[in-house]
Amino acid sequence: MLEQAHSLVIEGTRVELVLRRSARRSFALQVDHRGARVAVPLRTPLGEVERFVHSHGRWLLDRLQARAAAPSIPVLEVVDGATLPLFGRPLTLRLHGGRGSRWRPLADGGEELVLPAGSDPLRALLRALQARALAWYRGRVEEYCHRLGVPVPALRLSNARTRWGSCSSRSGIRLHWRLIHLSPVLIDYVVAHEVAHLLEMNHSPRFWAVVERLYPDWRSARAALRQAAAALPVIAAAPATDTGTFEHED
């Protein structure tokens, strides 16, 4: 993967962005807490990249303006007593001198995650969240496959910057581990969306009809997911996600 700084003028405004070239097949334009980024296939001519960005110029300017006006979300410090959302509810971090991590239920129905203070608590936090996410997602994928009457595919976690999930007939379903911060109803929408792709590998009316069968309130969930994405905690070493991304397949 190759990255370089690039700038261009959109409607009289100079925009600085990062151009990322990789072995992908699609174009993607995103804005997150780091600024604007465009991802393209490795050998895409610069002129074609700029045409793609200009074609979404108004969206990009609006997104950058909204990001600049929004209150900044501080980077999470993994210290004793820090909190972050887990399934839409507060999770409290605790540091201790032992080895290994463990989950601890609280009397009010919340949870604590006890992390080893002596090693690398950030790494331990990421590992614990990802393990918890995979276990939760597996159960939800099984449930929606059962509703649809299809075999349960392989399931893996994703670290993608621009998609919450993906589905392939060869590799199965991938779900972004950071969905674990969101409420279960929003996680279920993403799961239902990807399971629906097991029958329809497209976004045709037939696909959305399958989603409707699995998750009738998908329209409001999709809108809520876009809003929730903007409030995700910023965790060092965890790639940001942005669901307001423009994608273009070759």
Average pLDDT of span 134-141: 97
- Whether 180 and 232 share a structural domain: yes
pLDDT bracket for residue 152 (50, 70, 90): very high
8 Å CB contact between 112 and 95: no
pLDDT surpassing 60 at residue 238: no
Whether residue 126 has pLDDT greater than 90: yes
Tell whether 25 and 131 lie within a shared domain: no
Residue type, 243: T
Domain residues for the domain of 119 are: 75-249
Q: Which of 26-35, 51-60, 130-139 has the lowest mean pLDDT?
A: 26-35
Q: Among 69, 88, 120, which residue terminates a domain?
A: 69
In this predicted structure, the answer to whether residue 163 has a pLDDT above a threshold of 50 is yes
For residue range 82-125, what is the model confidence (pLDDT) as tens digits?
Answer: 999 999 999 999 998 777 899 999 888 789 999 998 778 999 99
Please check whether residues 35 and 103 belong to one and the same domain: no
My answer on whether 51 and 92 are in the same domain is: no
Q: How many domains does the chain have?
A: 2
Read off the CATH number of the domain in which 171 is found. 3.30.2010.10
85 and 193 inside one domain:
yes
Q: In the chain, where do the E strands start and end?
A: 2-10, 13-22, 26-32, 35-41, 75-76, 83-86, 89-96, 102-105, 111-116, 155-158, 165-168, 172-176, 234-235, 246-249
In this structure, are 62 and 106 located in the same domain?
no
Specify whether 146 is located in the same domain as 226.
yes
Looking at the fold, whether 42 and 111 belong to one and the same domain comes out as no
Q: Are residues 63 and 93 in the same domain?
A: no
